[in-house]
C-alpha cells in the first residue's frame, strides 16, 4: 500500500467508533490462533526460506511462542479490560475513583528479521488486546515470512484494524512522517535513535526493544558442563542471531580450557556434522556474513571458523583469550561467534561489564547462592537468567525489555497489554454533599485542612 493512501486511511479512523469491544478483540485473537494453526506449514516453510530455521526451532521460538501468548491473553483479557475501582482518600469524601484502561489509538509496530514471525506478532497481540488499530512494518530482509504474515492478517482482521506495510528504510521513514499514537520498535540501537527522534516531533510515546552486548559470567563455583551446554544452546540457536544470545563469556582463567572442551562435546552431540545438520540455521544475508567474518581472529580460534559465503553458513565459532580491545568486543555480534575472555578476579569482571552500556540480557552461572545474588544486584541489565541462557523470554509473567541503550519499556504477557494502554483516571464526585473546606475565602480553614492532610 502507498504511504499516502495509508495516511488517508489513518485519518479516517475515528476513536469513538474505532475501538473494538473486548469481546471483538477476543474474537480476533481466537481467529488469529486458528489461522496460524491452519498455516503452520506455510509459516515453517517461510522461515526455512528466509533463515534456514528448522521446524522445531520455528515452532519453539516463533509459532509456539505466539500461540502461548494468545492463550495467556485470552485467559486474562476480561480482567485486564475491566475498569478498576481504586481507594479514595477521606478528604475527597464522598467521591469514588476509577481507572479505565484505554487504547492509545493507532500504533505503529516496526520489527526486525531475526525472529520475523514472533517479533511482528508478539507486540501486535498486546496492541490488539488493548483495543488499538495497528500499522505493522516487518523487516524487508525476511520477505517470505513477511508475505505469510500479510496473508494471515488479511484473513483475520478487517481492513482498518490491522494494516501491514512492506518496505525498507525509505518506507519506514515515510511511515515515521505520519502521526501515530504510539510507536513500538524492535531493532538495533542505532535505528532506535532515529525512531525516537522522529517520534519526538509529535511527542509520540515509544517502546524501543533494542540490542547490545549481553554478557555471560561464569563464576568460580559454576557447574562447567551445564554452563557450556546452556551457552551452546543459547548462543547457537538461530545461528546466534538472537538479541538475547550470550554475546561473550567471562570465565575464571583456569576454567577456560575445560569450558571449551565441554562446549565442543555439546556441539558435537547437538549438531553432529553441523554443515549438514537440518537443525542449524543460516546467516540472514551476505552483508551480515561479511561483517561477522571480519570479527574472527584466526590465532584465537578454539572451535569452528568454517564458513561458506554462497551458502551463508558460518559454523559455531568460539575464540579464546579474547581481549576487551579486540574488534569483536566493540559491537553486538549477532551471529555464531562466541568470544571468551578469561578473568582473574570476579570484581574486575563485574567492573568491566559495568563500564559498558547496560546490557539487554545478562547470564550468570554459579553454584554459590551468595555470589549469585551479589552479582545480580551489582550489575544493571534488562533481564536474564541464573544458571541458564535466553529462556527467561518464555515466561509471560516476566516483562521483557532493555535498559539504557538496550531499550526503553518492556512487554510480554500483561506488560504487553499495559504497554499499549493508557490508564485513564477518573474521579467522580456526587452533588448532594459539597464540603466547603476547599473553597476561598481560606480564613480559619488551614487548621481544619491540617487535620486531614498531614
Active site residue ranges? 209, 243
User: Cell for 106?
Assistant: 493507532
- The kind and range of the H/E element at 85 are strand 84-86
| Residue linked to cell 475565602 | 441
Stretch that binds ligand NAD, among 47-55, 169-177, 297-305, 346-354 (CB under 6 A): 169-177
Residue nearest to ligand NAD (CB): 211
Asked if residue 89 binds ligand NAD (CB under 6 A), the reply is no
| Site membership for ligand NAD, residue 30 (CB under 6 A) | no
Taking residue 418's Cβ as centre, other Cβ atoms within 10 Å add up to 18
Nearest to 73 by CA among 140, 134, 129, 25: 129
- Among residues 110, 124, 237, 328, which is the contact residue for ligand NAD, using CB under 6 A? 110
Q: Which of 37, 169, 394, 426 binds ligand NAD (CB under 6 A)?
A: 169
Phi, psi of 353 (to 5 degrees): -60, -45
For ligand NAD, the binding residues in 173-202 under the rule CB under 6 A are 173, 186-188, 191, 194
Grid cell, residue 186, equals: 524492535
Cis peptide before 94 (omega within 30 of 0): yes
Residue 114 found at the interface with ligand NAD (CB under 6 A): yes
Instruction: Give the strand order in the sheet containing 317-319.
Output: 301-303, 317-319, 337-343, 248-252, 215-218, 361-365, 383-386
Q: Which of residues 387-446 bind ligand NAD (CB under 6 A)?
A: 402, 407
Cα separation, 140 vs 113, in Å, equals 8
> What is the nearest approach in angstroms of ligand NAD to the Cβ of residue 141?
6
- Number of Cβ within 10 Å of residue 360's Cβ equals 29
Q: Which of 336, 342, 300, 309 is nearest to 324 (CA)?
A: 342
The site string for ligand NAD over 342-381 (x = CB under 6 A, - otherwise) reads ------------------x---------------------
Counting residues that bind ligand NAD (by CB under 6 A) gives 27
Query: Considering the rule CB under 6 A, would residue 62 count as an interface residue with ligand NAD?
Result: no
- Other Cβ atoms less than 10 A from the Cβ of 218: the count is 25
Instruction: Spell out, one character per residue from 243 to 262, where the chain touches ligand NAD: x when CB under 6 A holds, - when not.
Output: x-------------------
Q: Which stretch binds ligand NAD (CB under 6 A): 63-71, 93-101, 105-113, 274-282?
A: 105-113
CB nearer ligand NAD, residue 287 or residue 309: 287
Per CB under 6 A, does 209 bind ligand NAD?
yes
Pick from 197, 199, 200: nearest CA to 184: 199
Query: Can you give the binding site for ligand NAD, defined by CB under 6 A?
Result: 110-114, 119, 137, 139-140, 168-169, 172-173, 186-188, 191, 194, 209-211, 243, 332, 334, 360, 402, 407
Amino acid at each position: 500500500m502507498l504511504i499516502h493512501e495509508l495516511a488517508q486511511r489513518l485519518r479516517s479512523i475515528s476513536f469513538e467508533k474505532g475501538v473494538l469491544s473486548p469481546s471483538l478483540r477476543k474474537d480476533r485473537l481466537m481467529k488469529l490462533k486458528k489461522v496460524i494453526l491452519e498455516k503452520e506449514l506455510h509459516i515453517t516453510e517461510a522461515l526455512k526460506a528466509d533463515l534456514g530455521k528448522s521446524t522445531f526451532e520455528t515452532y519453539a521460538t516463533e509459532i509456539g511462542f505466539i500461540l502461548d501468548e494468545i492463550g495467556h491473553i485470552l485467559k486474562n483479557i476480561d480482567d485486564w479490560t475491566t475498569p478498576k475501582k481504586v481507594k479514595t482518600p477521606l478528604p475527597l469524601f464522598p467521591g469514588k475513583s476509577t481507572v479505565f484502561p484505554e487504547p492509545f489509538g493507532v500504533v505503529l509496530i516496526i520489527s526486525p528479521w531475526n525472529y520475523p514471525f514472533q517479533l511482528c506478532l508478539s507486540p501486535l497481540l498486546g496492541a490488539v488486546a488493548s483495543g488499538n488499530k495497528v500499522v505493522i512494518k516487518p523487516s524487508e530482509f525476511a520477505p517470505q515470512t513477511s508475505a505469510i504474515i500479510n496473508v494471515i492478517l488479511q484473513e483475520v482482521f478487517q481492513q482498518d484494524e490491522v494494516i501491514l506495510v512492506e518496505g525498507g528504510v525509505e518506507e519506514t521513514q515515510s511511515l515515521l512522517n505520519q502521526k501515530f499514537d504510539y510507536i513500538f520498535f524492535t531493532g538495533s540501537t542505532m535505528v532506535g535513535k532515529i525512531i525516537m527522534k522522529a517520534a519526538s516531533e509529535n511527542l509520540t510515546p515509544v517502546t524501543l526493544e533494542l540490542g547490545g552486548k549481553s554478557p555471560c559470567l561464569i563464576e568460580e563455583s559454576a557447574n562447567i558442563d551445564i554452563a557450556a551446554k546452556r551457552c551452546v544452546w543459547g548462543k547457537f540457536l538461530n545461528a546466534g542471531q538472537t538479541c538475547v544470545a550470550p554475546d561473550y563469556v567471562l570465565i575464571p582463567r583456569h576454567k577456560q580450557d575445560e569450558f571449551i572442551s565441554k562446549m565442543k562435546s555439546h556441539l558435537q552431540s547437538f549438531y553432529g556434522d553441523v554443515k549438514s545438520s537440518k537443525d542449524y540455521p543460516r546467516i540472514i544475508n551476505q552483508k551480515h556474513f561479511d561483517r561477522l567474518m571480519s570479527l574472527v581472529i584466526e590465532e584465537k580460534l578454539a572451535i569452528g571458523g568454517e564458513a561458506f559465503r554462497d551458502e551463508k553458513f558460518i559454523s559455531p565459532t568460539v575464540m579464546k583469550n579474547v581481549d576487551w580491545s579486540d574488534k569483536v568486543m566493540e559491537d553486538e555480534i549477532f551471529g555464531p561467534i562466541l568470544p571468551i575472555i578469561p578473568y582473574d578476579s570476579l570484581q574486575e569482571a563485574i567492573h568491566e561489564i559495568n563500564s559498558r552500556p547496560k546490557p539487554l540480557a545478562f547470564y550468570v552461572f554459579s553454584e554459590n547462592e551468595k555470589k549469585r545474588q551479589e552479582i545480580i544486584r551489582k550489575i544493571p541489565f534488562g533481564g536474564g537468567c541464573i544458571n541458564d541462557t535466553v529462556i527467561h523470554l518464555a515466561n509471560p509473567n516476566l516483562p521483557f525489555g532493555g535498559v539504557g541503550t538496550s531499550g526503553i519499556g518492556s512487554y510480554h504477557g500483561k506488560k504487553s497489554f499495559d504497554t499499549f494502554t493508557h490508564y485513564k483516571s477518573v474521579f467522580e464526585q456526587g452533588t448532594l454533599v459539597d464540603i466547603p473546606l476547599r473553597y476561598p475565602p481560606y480564613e480559619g480553614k488551614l487548621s481544619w485542612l491540617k487535620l486531614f492532610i498531614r
